[in-house]
Structure 1
Amino acid sequence: MIQAFLDPFGYEFFVKGVIVATLAGGLCGLIGVYITLRGMSYIGHGLSHAIFGGFAASSVISLNYYLGAGVWGLASALAINRVTRSRRIGADAAIGVITTASFALGVALLTIFGNKGPSFDAALFGSIIGVATSDVLALAGITVFTVIVVITNYRALLFATFDPEVADVSGVKVARTDALLMLVLSLAILATLTVIGVTLVAATLVIPAVVARMLTNRFATMLWLSSGIGAACGLVGMNLSYHLDVPSGTTIVLTGALVFVVVLSFTGSRRLQRTARLDPSGRGSAPVAVTTVS
């Protein structure tokens, strides 16, 4: 059985896939904490669809995938953030309008002009076949960049996440902080699409963060715990993907869902109820998080 587990590591494409899946899981787990605590879990799903529009446009004009889709995704994220801050419509409505229109445009472009880049199915559901060395390096660079952003802007991100109004009048540049978070989120989604896929990347942002919230009250602990859970799900899910011959994104998400069920069964419904306070409207977890900052 051990040999059967180790056999796939003899293939270069699989090793690259495992590295990317593990990094992607940890990266999404880290960013997912901020996204979930802001009550914006849907933005991961929506932004991945928006980036698909950039993926399609890049394919049509033969532009570098990371450059075209990255600019498109960041523009969509900033547009969502701008519309949301205007308070005329809610975040869910802004995400729904901007991202679904972008996704529809992407489908239309690929239908009319054809696909000249990465596989359409791989972009939707993830695949380890198309993982190149450049993908590994890009994801590693984005992961390092995100960690640096979180460390250097820890207090600003924390304050803006739990109480943006007070943070704004207290000298924290909330608009800048939000834009920075949207930047790392866009880069993370962009770098993980080839392994996890458009339709499933939102789950890798939400599941580790929710599981971590069920296990701890401390914000700092939640950050590393969510990252660890995401990385573990990526590692295990990628191995299952090879042995079951199922798309990598599917097995990674199912692995995360299984972890959620196991944690729920051990912690009980009371811990699950704590996740309801992740919505910023309740502010239930903010005092705990703020008082535990060292």
Structure 2
Amino acid sequence: MSAVLDFLTAPWEHLFMRRAFAVAVMCGIVSGVIGAHVVLRGMAFIGDAVSHSVFPGVAVAFVLHFNLVLGGAVAGLLTALAVAVFSQNRRLKEDSVIGVFFAAAFGLGIVILSTAPGYSGSLESFLFGQILGISDSDVVTVAVMGLLLLLVAGAVHKELVTVSLDRETARAAGLPVFALDIVLYALVTVTVVISLQAVGNILVLALLITPAACARLLTDRIGAMMVLAPAIGAGAATVGLYLSYAYNLAAGGLIVLVVTAVFILCWLLAPRHGLLATRRRRRDPDGAAARRRASEPRPTVDGMPTETTTAP
């Protein structure tokens, strides 16, 4: 018991670990909420595209000697805007447009960096994360930006869900579909940027998509998904940091491995959509149908359940 208590409390004795836990949990929560919209939209590739599209901005910032995160944010937002504009032509699927700009942005970043010798060490933390080396100002920045992201996401939640489920119906209902596309891309971009220090540019997609994918397997309700995804993200980030401290391994990589392990468990054991549940239904289709009918809510009148009776 004492060993377990020591394991749980030891990291909190260090200021750098307290900062890391704060940023990891905040990034996990924000990424879970925004990632839920991304998964609902079926556009997981946008996270990968945005995480790489910030690369030329970071390269320019490095060459000109100003803030790397700010440079990455500007480049990411510009790329997200370009994707939103070109995706309005429905002849091309969204993932095709994302692929075009993802490759172009990454190529531009490589070209820019080739003009600046000696860059690899300076960009290592950007590419692979450096959550154990963040400062108090980084914690404040993530907290403020994360709160703003959650407020914006909450304000347009219903509209984003409507567009995700049926774009044409949303457009017919008078919703500004193009503007909502830009809002979502911007939310994803800022989420990626604030998560870079936690897991780095290469692994940030996992923090954005995997918790939401887990929640999608666990529930059919969008509201529950919006709660489960950030909970899984924050929990995985916390466990990953504990393992990093205990075994002196890379924090960002362990966070991603933990959340991936959670995804595999959900894929296997989710009560309705997991592999085992699906196989049980195939073996006993009649029993599964009966249980589904039994679990359906009964008709109600003024909130009270009605009894179904038959005439004698």
The answer (yes or no) to whether the contact 1:48–1:199 under 8 Å persists in 2 is yes
Residue of structure 2 equivalent to 1:80: 83
Q: Deviations over 1:114-155 (max 9, x none)?
A: 467984222122122331222211111121112111221122
Letter in 2 for 1:38: R
CA distance in 2, matches of 1:117, 1:183: 28
Which of the residues 199, 202, 213 maps onto 2:202? 199
CA distance in 2, matches of 1:243, 1:205: 25
The alignment status of 1:129 with 2:152, answered yes or no, reads: no
Q: Give the stretch that moved more between structures: 100-109 or 246-255.
A: 100-109
Deviation at 1:189, TM superposition (A): 0.4
CA distance in 2, matches of 1:233, 1:266: 18
The alignment status of 1:264 with 2:267, answered yes or no, reads: yes
Which of the residues 99, 105, 113 maps onto 2:102? 99
TM alignment of 1:1-294, pairs within 5 A: 1=3, 2-114=5-117, 119-267=122-270, 270-271=273-274
- Assess, with a 3 A threshold, how the Cα gap between structure 1 residues 203 and 49 changes in structure 2: closer, same or farther: same
CA distance in 1, matches of 2:66, 2:91: 36
Q: Deviations over 1:223-266 (max 9, x none)?
A: 01111111111111122222232222211111011112222332
- Assess, with a 3 A threshold, how the Cα gap between structure 1 residues 229 and 14 changes in structure 2: closer, same or farther: same
Letter in 2 for 1:186: T
Deviation at 1:268, TM superposition (A): 6.4
Structure showing greater radius of gyration is 2
5+ long unaligned stretches in structure 2: 278-312
Q: Give the stretch that moved more between structures: 3-12 or 174-183.
A: 3-12
5+ long unaligned stretches in structure 1: 275-294
The answer (yes or no) to whether the contact 1:18–1:239 under 8 Å persists in 2 is no
Deviation at 1:35, TM superposition (A): 0.6
Q: What is the count of residue pairs matched by the alignment?
A: 274
The answer (yes or no) to whether the contact 2:268–2:276 under 8 Å persists in 1 is no
Q: Give the stretch that moved more between structures: 65-74 or 230-239.
A: 65-74
Deviation at 1:66, TM superposition (A): 3.3
Q: Give the stretch that moved more between structures: 102-111 or 228-237.
A: 102-111
- Assess, with a 3 A threshold, how the Cα gap between structure 1 residues 12 and 151 changes in structure 2: closer, same or farther: same
Letter in 2 for 1:221: A
Q: Give the stretch that moved more between structures: 235-244 or 29-38.
A: 235-244
Residue of structure 1 equivalent to 2:305: none
Letter in 1 for 2:230: S
